[in-house]
Amino acid sequence: MATTGDEFTLDTAAELAAEEGSAGKEIQGRSPWALAWRRLRRNYVALGSLGVFILVVVACLLAPVYVSHVSGIPPNEVRLGDSVTKNGQKIPVISNGSTKIVNGVPVVVPGGIPIGAQWGATGGAYILGADEEGRDVTTRLLYGGRNSLYIGVTSAAITTVVAVVLALLAGYFGGGTDWVISRFFDLIWAFPVILLGIALGTALSVNGFHHFGINLSGSSLWITIGVVAFVFIPYIGRPLRGQILALRQREFVEAATAQGAGPIRIMFTEVLPNIASTVLVLFTLIIAACILTEVGLSFLGAGVQPPNPSWGTMIEEGQSQLATAPQISLYAGLAIAVTVLAINIFGDGLRDALDPRAKVRIEH
């Protein structure tokens, strides 16, 4: 099902290339995908958002390069006693406590406050300041982004695959299969999402998961991925099931059955292509939801486990030092907002492009 997404881009890219005469492939009429691509291509806001998202992904992937060439500070290394040189002066990363005389009375200035944003004055280190353990916020932001994006995209892919398969089974076979799968959806639906995530995440992060030949340590990202993927299954499965139930009654399914096609073949070659555009849009939008859920879980301590950074754990770590070191929380939140917004805008554009009934759109 994830391959459907790949096929979409590959096919249309090939057709586009053919259209422009740069590749040898023939133009075979205008498929719905090609039409959708033409609409999407004119939606500059959506394409720009895709660009922003790709930029964020590339920046996060280059995190090790950033460490080795710019900041020189690994993401999880505690550097409490460290200091930086700024304008020829040595400044401790975590401020020392001191006393100063105000109106003849000694006043204690508490220490332990991490330095704020340096904006390049220290030659690359601590561009966005330090956190409470003297770690570089920029570096952690990039590494945290790797974790947050990885969890968001992977769990969205898993949710989509599982939900599509379940919806196909329920919609195609109906009857008892449909009943069991629908009740399963109802059950997850009845759980408050964040509470189910918390319960699973907390229990699993103690000793990890060691069943069915799968061995995961308590700090494994896959636990968070599994939890986030699990709670979103009905959000994709339910709408798809309804669509498949309607498709099941259509003549082309009957025709395929008459030709002797088996259930698997009908599900994957007859029904699936007809819901592919819905799946693609839901997948895009669920990435945004998954990233936000990971952030929420990590913020509450039931997601990515410290010292491993994620955008959610960074917000949590900075919460208690909001007044003195706002850089720890606020930039991480900004990164989430920009990334999720980019995905949402692109997903919206994708839906407008794929839905022929698309009404008034943002662009023009």
Partner 1 sequence: MGAFIVRRLFGMILVLAAVSLIVYLIFIVIPGGNPALRIAGKTATPGNIKAIELKLGLNHHGFFGFLWQWWDMMKALFTGSLVSYYDGTNVVQQIKEGIPVTFSLAIGAGVIWMGFGILVGTVSAVKAGQVSDRVITALALIGISLPVAWLGLLFRYFLAGEKGWPAIFPDGGYVPLTTDPVQWAYHMLLPWFTLAILFIGFYGRVLRSNILDTINEDFVRTAKAKGLTSQRILRKHVLRASLIPIVTLFGLDFAAVLGGGAIITEVVYSLPGVGFYAARSISQQDLPPLMGVTLFGAMFIVVFTLLVDIAYAYLDPRIRLS
List contacts with partner 1 (CB under 8 A): 186-187, 189-196, 198-200, 202-204, 206-210, 218, 288, 292, 295-296, 299-302, 311-312, 315-316, 318-319, 322-323, 326, 329-330, 332-334, 336-337, 340-341, 344-345, 348, 359-360, 362, 364
Residue 312 Cβ vs partner 1, minimum distance, rounded to whole Å: 8
Name which of 271 and 342 has its Cβ closer to partner 1: 342
Which of 34, 282 has the CB closer to partner 1? 282
Q: Minimal distance in Å, beta carbon 349 to partner 1?
A: 11
Burial of 282 (0-12, 13-18, 19+ CB in 10 A): buried
Smaller CB separation from partner 1, 91 or 193: 193
For the bound state, the minimum distance from the C-beta of residue 351 to partner 1, rounded and expressed in Å, comes to 11
Q: Phi and psi (nearest 5°) for 203?
A: -65, -40
What is the smallest separation between the CB atom of 162 and partner 1, expressed in angstroms? 17
Q: Please name the helix (run of DSSP H) or strand (run of DSSP E) that holds residue 187, with its range, or none.
A: helix 175-190
> Pseudo-torsion of CA 138, 318, 334, 309, nearest 10°?
50
Measured between alpha carbons, how far is 180 from 189 in angstroms, rounded to an integer? 14
- Which of 90, 183 has the CB closer to partner 1? 183
Tokens matching residue 173: 């076979």
Query: Which residues, 6+ apart, have CB-to-CB distance to 331 below 8 Å?
Result: 128, 137, 141
- Dist CA 20 CA 12 (whole Å): 12
Q: How far is the CB of 338 from partner 1 (least distance, A)?
A: 8
Of residues 7 and 186, the one with the C-beta less far from partner 1:
186
Closest CB to partner 1 among 198 and 353?
A: 198
Q: List the beta bridge partners of residue 105.
A: 102
Q: For the CA atoms of the chain, what is the radius of gyration? A: 25
CB of 346 to partner 1, least distance (A): 11
Q: Which of 281, 285, 296 has its CA nearest to residue 341?
A: 285
